[in-house]
Chains A and B, each alone.
Chain A
Amino acid sequence: MLNLNGLTKFYGALPAIRDVTASLSPGDVLGLLGPNGSGKSTTVKMLVGLLSPTRGTITYNGQDVSADLTAFKAGIGYVPEEAHLYTFFTPPEYLEFVGRLRGLDQDTLARRIDRFLHLFNLDNARYQPITACSKGMRQKVLISAALIHDPAIVVLDEPCSGLDVSTTLVLRELIEQLRQAGKIVVYSSHVMDMVEKVSTRVLIVHRGKVVADNSVSALRELLSLPSLEAVFAELTVEDDVKVVAGELAAAMRA
């Protein structure tokens, strides 16, 4: 059981996120939604231990994770929003590096690296440094690095960025299988369609506050709206979309 208890983060005097509370059980897929700057990435970074909350706690199986953050991180797989990688490594070297830091033994690691590279069609990129890889290939390396140690919690921040359609479909099915395997998955994205399909619950944050926390179907019923996109627009979009688009078109000719 993973609990976020009143998570709050201030950057100086600026509040990024306030009082985020959620509870996740094995087999839950939490879709994290919000407009740009709403505090999604800050929440994710607190969840994976990259940032410490200004207030609030994260507990995992009843233990405050800050008591032993290193042990908590050992059970997390994280795909960051920005593709930060050591680009002088080749993809297998990078996976080997991450796997070793995660304490995997050499045989298991070699076996898993081969499988991941093959399944993500990265065989041809084995011997080239990551700096020469495309955005999609880098994303596949990041996803492989997040899953290589068979984590109990998988945190995906915009994982489909740069991925082709077939890999996106594979990822969608993979999330479903991770759910069935009893993993906790947190999925942060702007792609409503994907979140709607993979999530068992959705947390919508806006201006640093949680404005909705429920299953997709419950939210649709509650607001009597046909899709998650409509729910999201109802809760977070403050401007008249048509008016703004019209003003932008006019600005092009100003």
Chain B
Amino acid sequence: MMKAPVFPLLVRLFSRRFFENDLLAPDIDLRPTAIWLLAALAMPPILWTVKSIVPYGLMAIHGYALMETMSWFDKSLLMMLAMVSAGIVTVLSWEALLVDRRDALVLGALPVPSLPIVAAKAAAIGRLFVVVAALNLPAAFILSLAVYGHWGFFLMLRAIAAHVIAVTAASVAASIALTTALVAVTSLFEGRWLRIMTVAVQAAVLAVLAGLVIGIQWSPALLAAARQGDPSLLGAVAYWPPAWFVGLYQQILGASPGRDVFAPLAERALITLGVATLVGVPVTLWLWRRALSQLVSAAAEPVGSDLRSLARHVPRWLARPARDRAFLQFFLTVLWRSPRHRLALLTGFGLSAMVALQGTLVLTSRATVSRWLTEFAVPVLVLLCLMAFLRWLLLLPAELPASWLLGLASPAPGPLVRRAVSRVMWLLVVAPPTVLALVLSWWQGGVVSALAHATLVAAFGLCLVERALAKVTFMPFATEYMPGRSNLKARWPVHAVVLLVVVPTLAEIERTLVARPSTAFAVIATILLAVAGLAATNRRRTHDLLTADPGLGTDWTPVQLRLAGI
């Protein structure tokens, strides 16, 4: 006759929310996917440190000091990976980190004070952060064994402790900082400002994660500064958070080389961790508690006028018939208003911007470092990156219970949908790399070269769009996401090889063609003919996307069949 304690129940409830996703069919268990994701995040540091065992073994004859110095880069890399992993998990858990209206209405009506609720929420999220931090432990053991195993058992133990503390601090500080930022934005803003601020935070989070990754190229400055014991040589790396936690590692280890440089870095790490825990945690708890009482009376989010006008006006020149405009308006509005879609779209554009920026920097320096970063390869890379993201985005549902409305757009909305999707792809996938190609080639080779290159990229983009449309056999944003149906798991090596072969090859072909404009325009004409052929084939596919599903196999469960209305 034992009464169940409330706190563990609530912790279990909030922990289960990490595996809740309204995108998926109800019988899909996300736990195996989560385990795969955690394993994937644990692998890079393990592989990197295993790869380092032999080089460190060979280096041992040169003495302790050299090994210690050489390990700084590895430590920087591992701290960076720990922080990026924490960031990725935090971003993927985005919705589970918040107290939502459902929590307020369900738990608020029960005889449970708000304090145990927010404490349980914190405990559930804290548990996740500890698991994510623990992903770095194997690498801590391996690196400590490889570097310090030769120099005494106690030094090795101390190195393990230093690594574990530093990497856990880095991971937890990153997770708490991101969570606090997210909770603050979603709690303190409403309506139009909420949307604007969410976009800003999403973009900032992606920029921070990208900055952490890009910052690894500054680590030589850390090594140089530490070798010479001169903090003034640090430069930009002084503002790169993983370096702060390398400093913490070195301070705990008590190693003498570079102490003058590592001590101030360690101070920054401690300040970051202190601010995150002493400010971030109480603020987050307070905001959750506030949300529990305020969300009950929350009115529907009023929308601003910014995209309302875009969604209404863009279709006027992109799609004239009313029903074409309706679908285009639906797609554009989902991409802007659904936070999940916006985040994925921002990620795609963010990665593309990184490629474009890196390419431009290389072109500015006139250094031939990679055939991937020429004025011909960069637009193609951007095009493929945007296409991959948008194609995946189409699979993510936005407002499933409202999908019936799209089924009423009779007769068969298939051609209408494909037309609308093609317009969205022209806008978001083809236009940006075409403009990029025009600008890069103008700058590098002049007007004729720019026009030829931009036209080639646009033609290639249109070809890709038509190819992608052939695979649109579902209603975008309105069908349940079923990861089991994706063939990406089996085909990713093919895609990777194609990417490795296509981008440089295409870039070389373009380089040759741009030098001979007459041949270039003949090739463009041929591509456009292929586009026309593909478009004609796509137009003949008239079946209703909501009911016909050529991918339907015998492995569907009864629940999935029922949900699909079959």
Chain A contact residues, CB within 8 Å of chain B: 11, 42, 45, 48-52, 70-74, 76, 78, 80, 82, 84-88, 97-98, 100-107, 128-129, 131-132
Question: Cβ of B551 < 8 Å from any Cβ of A?
Answer: no
Residues of A contacting B296 in the complex (Cβ-Cβ under 8 angstroms) = 45, 50-51
Interface of B with A (CB < 8 Å)?
1-4, 6, 9-10, 13, 16-17, 19-20, 22, 26-27, 101-102, 104-113, 293, 296-297, 299, 559, 562-563
Please provide the 8 A-B residue pairs with the shortest distance between their CB atoms, ordered closest to farther.
Answer: A74-B111, A100-B4, A73-B111, A132-B26, A131-B26, A84-B105, A129-B26, A84-B102
Tell me if B3 and A128 are in contact (CB < 8 A).
no
Among B9, B106, B112, B559, contact of A128 (Cβ-Cβ < 8 Å): B559
A132 touches B109 (CB 8 A): no
Let me know if A97 and B9 touch, CB within 8 A: yes
Main secondary structure of the interface of B (DSSP, over half): helix
- Which residues from chain B contact A51 at a C-beta distance below 8 Å? 296-297
Partner of B112, one of A52, A70, A72, A76: A70
Report A-chain residues with C-beta under 8 Å of the C-beta of B297. Answer: 11, 42, 45, 51
CB<8 Å pairs between A and B, sample of 15: A11-B299, A42-B297, A49-B108, A50-B104, A70-B111, A84-B102, A84-B105, A86-B102, A87-B22, A97-B9, A100-B3, A100-B6, A104-B3, A131-B22, A132-B559
Looking at the assembled complex, report how far the CB atom of B102 sits from the nearest CB atom of chain A, in whole angstroms. Answer: 5
How far does the Cβ of B3 sit from chain A's closest Cβ, in whole Å? 5
| Contact in complex: A80, B102 (CB < 8 Å) | no
CB neighbours of B22 from chain A (8 A): 87, 131
Residues of B within 8 A of A73 (CB): 109-111
Question: Are B2 and A106 in contact, with the CB atoms below 8 A?
Answer: yes
Contacts of B563 in A (CB 8 A): 132
Query: Are A105 and B111 CB-contacts (below 8 A) given A88-B19, A97-B13, A132-B26?
Result: no
Q: Which residues of A contact B17 (CB under 8 A)?
A: 86, 88
Most B CB contacts (10 A, CB to CB) among A78, A84, A101, A106 go to A101
Contact B4 A106, beta carbon cutoff 8 Å: yes
A64–B272 alpha-carbon span in the complex (Å): 46
| Minimal Cβ-Cβ distance residue in A for B104 | A50
Closest residue of chain A to B113 (Cβ to Cβ) is A70
B295 nearest in chain A by CB position: A50
Residue on B with the closest CB to A11? B297
Known contacts: A49-B109, A132-B559, A132-B563. The answer to whether A101 contacts B26 by CB under 8 A is no
Q: With A97-B9, A100-B4 given, is the CB distance from A85 to B109 under 8 Å?
A: no
Known contacts: A84-B106, A98-B110. The answer to whether A132 contacts B27 by CB under 8 A is: yes
B400's closest neighbor in chain A, by CB? A131
Task: Specify the chain B residue showing the minimal Cβ separation from A149.
Answer: B111
Contact B3 A105 (CB under 8 A): yes
Say whether B110 contacts A86, CB under 8 Å: no
A102, B110: Cβ atoms under 8 Å?
Answer: yes
Q: How far is the CB of A97 from chain B (nearest CB, A)?
A: 7
Inter-chain contact B106/A85, CB cutoff 8 Å: yes
- Closest-by-CB residue of A relative to B401 is A135
- CA distance in complex: A129, B299 (Å): 28
Chain B residues with CB below 8 A from A85, complex form: 102, 106
* Chain B residue contacts of A129, Cβ below 8 A: 26-27
Query: In whole angstroms, how far apart are the Cα atoms of A1 and B10 in the complex?
Result: 32
Residue numbers in A under 8 Å from B3 (CB-CB): 100, 103-105
Contacts of A11 in B (CB 8 A): 297, 299
Please indicate the chain B residues that have their CB under 8 angstroms from the CB of A105 in the complex.
1-3
What CA separation (Å) do A104 and B1 show in the bound complex?
9
Known: A87-B20, A103-B3. 14 other contacts (CB 8 A): A50-B296, A70-B111, A70-B112, A80-B105, A84-B106, A86-B102, A86-B106, A87-B22, A88-B16, A97-B9, A100-B4, A104-B3, A106-B1, A129-B26
B300 to chain A, nearest CB (A): 12
Which residue on A lies nearest to B298, using beta carbons?
A11
A84 near B101 with CB under 8 A, answer yes
Q: B9 contacts A100, CB within 8 Å?
A: yes
Separation in Å of the A134 CB from the closest CB of chain B? 11
**Residue ID in chain B nearest A9 by CB atoms:** B297
For A128, the chain B residues whose CB sits under 8 A away are 26-27, 559
A72 contact set on B, CB distance < 8 A: 111
Q: Is A50's CB under 8 angstroms from B108's CB?
A: yes
Q: Chain B contacts of A131 at CB under 8 A?
A: 22, 26
User: How far is B3's CA from A74's CA once the two chains are assembled, in angstroms?
Assistant: 14
Judge whether B13 and A86 touch: CB under 8 Å.
Answer: yes
The chain A residue with its CB closest to the CB of B16 is A88
CB distance from A190 to the nearest CB of B (A): 20
CA distance A52 to B292 in the complex (A): 12
Q: How far is the CA of A74 from the CA of B6 in the complex (A)?
A: 13
Residues of the B chain whose Cβ atoms lie less than 8 Å from the Cβ of A101: 6, 9-10, 107, 110-112
State how many angstroms separate the Cβ of A50 from the closest Cβ of chain B: 5
Using Cβ atoms and an 8 Å threshold, which residues of chain A touch B110? 73, 98, 101-102
With A11-B299, A97-B9, A100-B4 as contacts: A48 and B26 at CB distance below 8 Å = no
CB distance from B294 to the nearest CB of A (A): 10
By beta carbon, the residue of chain A nearest B106 is A84
Residue from the set B9, B17, B105, B107 with the largest chain A CB neighbour count within 10 Å? B105
Most buried by B among A42, A50, A73: A50
| A residues less than 8 Å from B27 (CB atoms) | 128-129, 132
A240 to B106, CA, bound (A): 40
Judging by beta carbons under 8 Å apart, are B112 and A107 in contact?
no
A80 near B4 with CB under 8 A, answer no
Q: How far is the CA of A129 from the CA of B297 in the complex (A)?
A: 28
The reply to whether B299 and A88 contact each other, CB–CB distance below 8 Å, is: no
Q: How far is the CA of A100 from the CA of B112 in the complex (A)?
A: 11
Complex: chain A residue closest to B296, CB-CB: A50
Query: What's the nearest-Cβ distance from chain B to residue A155, in Å?
Result: 9
Hey, which chain B residues are within 8 Å of A98, CB to CB? 110
Docked-complex contact B1 and A107, CB < 8 angstroms:
yes
Which of B19, B20, B105 is within 8 Å of A50, CB to CB? Answer: B105
- The chain A residue with its CB closest to the CB of B105 is A84
Contact: A50 with B112, CB < 8 Å? no
Compute how far the CA of A51 lies from the CA of B294 in the bound complex, rounded to whole angstroms. Answer: 8
